[in-house]
């Protein structure tokens, strides 16, 4: 049996075991991506109405919130009417996420998760299990655009391998051997030695697709070009995510690996939001499950104009996110894509660009990884920012929440040396607020040191 056939069989068996609807949802998504823009809009309006009916019936928090804000969801008939509802901020979720879980959902019916966020504002949130599985299906669809399919080997250059590891049982090992077929190259700290290890691992694994943090992939590509390494297995595509990918960095990555880069935008709160197709003309949104508004001063912006991104998850009934301000910037794109897909398209204006910190030992530590594996897990942190102005020292600026205290400080004392090394000097600075960048974006990690110095 071919690897592709084995992987497809493993995928179906896994879905039967979990009693999930991923195969059926993937078939629907593969078909719906070719709907006309009018059909996509009609679908979104219908799903929005269903979500609002559910929320009014089963979510006392939203009923209270809307009433306090003087909003009437009965007036919202289409996506264009969403402006009549108030915005949900990260601070709102930080303060009320438990109350935002809909009535009737037991612990086994929801999936809990957390994120450090690109702005350093850690969030806890939940989704119902059906939404969790529809996100899995959405990821499969978008991966296929970049050349992946069942049975393909994949390599991840990611902030921490634990993000991909399930419990070390026979099912997890079986799944990775037959279905996922992936290796994870830990980019939470980069040195020439670790990147040479990446080269050896890629030669052994021979992946078809490489996925990774945009900055990590870029640093690795620069390293390879500087060292003149060749003999890497050919790739069908490189998928970049988690950080903004500029044109210069895209060109470096494509020159190194000899294939096209497929940029992607997503969040832990909502899953994949948008991905490039093979036309590379903006990001196709996952419009079947998400409504993405681009607004400025409370009104929608015109195509081609930048604005703040608001997201409504049409499918998360367990903990509705309706007009959630994700604190990224985007540009709505008009017109149809040459690929023929009718999904809404987005251009990124000033999304997440996370710097690397440079340690005294010459390691590069990924700021994107620290949002998830340090800040998201620190108790009582409302917002944070890492600042490095000179080698060997870093300042962690913290806006404290009600739970901040000795437990938080003990957590930092244990965990910061684990990530930044024992030689790094660090301090915590408590501040009232962290000012945004001129773009309006809150940078989580700011380093004024050129990462190329470790080469």
Residues 96-126 pLDDT 10s: 999 999 999 988 889 998 886 655 677 899 9
Residues 296 and 414 both lie in one domain: no
Those residues with Cβ within 8 angstroms of residue 436's Cβ, 6 or more apart along the chain or in another chain: 442
Confidence (pLDDT) at 198: 94
Single residue among 352, 371, 395 that ends a domain in this structure: 352
Secondary structure (H, E, C), the chain: CCHHHHHHHHHHHHHHHHCCCHHHHHHHHHHHCCCCHHHHHHHHHHHHHHHHHHHHHHCHHHHHHHHHCCCCHHHCCCHHHHHHCCCECHHHHHHHCCCCCCCCCCHHHEEEEEECCCCCCCEEEEEEHHHHHHHHHHHHHHHHHCCCCCCCCEEEEECCHHHCCCCCCHHHHHHHHHHHCEEEEECCEECHHHHHHHHHHHHHHCCCEEEEEHHHHHHHHHHHHHHCCCCCCCCCEEEEECCCCCHHHHHHHHHHHCCCEEEEEEECCCEEEEECCCCCCCEEECCCCEEEEEEECCEECCCCCCEEEEEEECCCCCCCCCCEEEEEEEEECCCCCCCCCCCCEEEECCCCCCCEEECCCCCEEEHHHHHHHCHHHCCCEEEEEEEEEECCEEEEEEEECCCCCHHHHHHHHHHHHHHHCCCCEEEEEECCCCCCCCCCCCCCEEECCCHHHHC
pLDDT at residue number 119: 58
pTM: 0.81
How far is 371 from 387, CA to CA, in rounded Å?
A: 13
Task: Check whether 350 has a pLDDT greater than 60.
Answer: no
291 plus 430 within the same structural domain: no
Q: What is the mean pLDDT of residues 124-151?
A: 94
Final residue of a domain: which of 320, 352, 384?
352
pLDDT digits (tens, 9 = 90+) for 154-176: 999 987 555 544 445 655 665 65
What pLDDT score does 289 carry?
Answer: 98
Q: Are residues 341 and 378 in the same domain?
A: no
Statement to judge: residues 236 and 371 lie in one domain? no
pLDDT-derived band at 55 (thresholds 50, 70, 90) equals very high
Domain assignment of residue 237, given as a range: 1-352
Query: Residue 416 sits in a domain of what CATH number?
Result: 3.30.300.30
What average pLDDT does the segment 35-54 reach?
A: 97
Are 418 and 368 members of one domain? yes
pLDDT at residue 290, rounded to an integer? 98
Indicate whether 402 and 430 sit together in one domain.
yes
Whether residue 321 sits in one domain with residue 272: yes
Asked whether the beta carbons of 300 and 293 are under 8 A apart, the reply is: yes
Distance CA 264, CA 266 (A): 7
Is 294 found in the same domain as 318? yes
Q: Count of domains in the chain?
A: 2
Mean model confidence pLDDT for the chain: 87
42: domain CATH number is: 3.40.50.12780
**293 shares its domain with 361:** no
Query: What CA–CA distance (Å, rounded) separates 117 from 218?
Result: 21
Q: What is the pLDDT of residue 354?
A: 58
Q: Which residues of 170-193 are buried (b: 16+ CB within 10 A; e: fewer)?
A: eeeeebbebbbbbbbbbbbbbbee
Whether residue 320 is found in the same domain as residue 413: no
Rounded mean pLDDT, 75-79:
96
Residue 271 in this model has a pLDDT that exceeds 80 = yes
pLDDT surpasses 90 at 358: no
Given CA atoms 92, 93, 99, 100 in this order, what sign does their dihedral have? positive
Residues 315, 431: one domain? Answer: no
Query: Do residues 311 and 360 both lie within one domain?
Result: no
Last residue of a domain, one of 337, 352, 367: 352
Confidence band of 288 (pLDDT split at 50, 70, 90):
very high
């Amino acid at each position: 049996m071919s690897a592709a056939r084995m992987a497809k069989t493993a995928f179906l068996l896994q879905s039967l075991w979990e009693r999930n609807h991923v195969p059926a949802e993937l078939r629907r998504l593969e078909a719906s991506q070719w709907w006309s823009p009018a059909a996509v809009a009609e679908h979104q309006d219908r799903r929005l109405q269903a979500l609002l009916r559910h929320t009014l019936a089963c979510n006392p928090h939203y009923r209270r919130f809307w009433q306090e804000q003087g909003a009437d969801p009965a007036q919202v008939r289409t996506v264009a009417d969403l402006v009549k509802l108030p915005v949900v901020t990260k601070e709102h979720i930080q303060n009320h996420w438990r109350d935002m879980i809909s009535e009737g959902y037991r612990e086994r019916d929801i999936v809990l998760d957390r994120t450090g966020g690109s702005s350093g504002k850690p969030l806890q949130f939940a989704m119902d299990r059906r939404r969790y599985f529809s996100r899995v299906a959405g990821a499969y669809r978008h991966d296929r655009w970049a050349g992946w399919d069942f049975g393909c080997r994949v390599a991840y250059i990611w902030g921490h391998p634990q993000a991909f590891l399930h419990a070390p049982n026979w099912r997890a090992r079986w799944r990775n051997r037959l279905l996922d077929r992936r290796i994870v190259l830990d980019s939470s700290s980069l040195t020439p030695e670790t990147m040479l290890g990446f080269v050896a691992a890629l030669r052994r694994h021979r992946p078809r697709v490489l996925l990774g943090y945009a900055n990590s992939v870029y640093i690795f590509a620069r390293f390879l070009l500087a060292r003149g390494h060749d003999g890497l297995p050919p790739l069908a595509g490189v998928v970049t995510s988690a950080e903004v990918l500029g044109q210069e960095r895209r060109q470096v990555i494509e020159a190194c690996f000899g294939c096209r880069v497929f940029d992607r935008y997503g969040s832990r709160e909502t899953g994949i939001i948008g991905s490039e197709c093979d036309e590379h003309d903006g990001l196709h949104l996952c419009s079947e499950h998400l409504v993405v508004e681009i607004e400025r001063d409370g009104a929608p912006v015109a195509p081609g104009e930048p604005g703040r991104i608001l997201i409504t998850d049409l499918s998360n009934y367990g903990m509705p996110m309706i007009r959630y301000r994700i604190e990224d910037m985007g540009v709505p794109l008009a017109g149809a894509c040459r690929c023929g897909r009718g999904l809404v398209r987005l251009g990124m204006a000033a999304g997440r660009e996370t710097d690397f910190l440079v340690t005294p030992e010459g390691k590069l530590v990924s700021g994107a990884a620290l949002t998830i594996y340090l800040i998201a897990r620190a108790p009582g942190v409302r917002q944070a920012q890492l600042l490095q102005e000179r080698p060997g020292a870093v300042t962690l600026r913290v806006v404290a929440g009600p739970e901040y205290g000795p437990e938080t400080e003990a957590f930092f004392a244990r965990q910061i040396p684990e990530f930044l090394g024992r030689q790094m000097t660090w301090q915590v600075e408590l501040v009232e607020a962290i000012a945004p960048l001129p773009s309006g974006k809150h940078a989580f990690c700011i380093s004024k040191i050129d990462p190329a110095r470790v080469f």
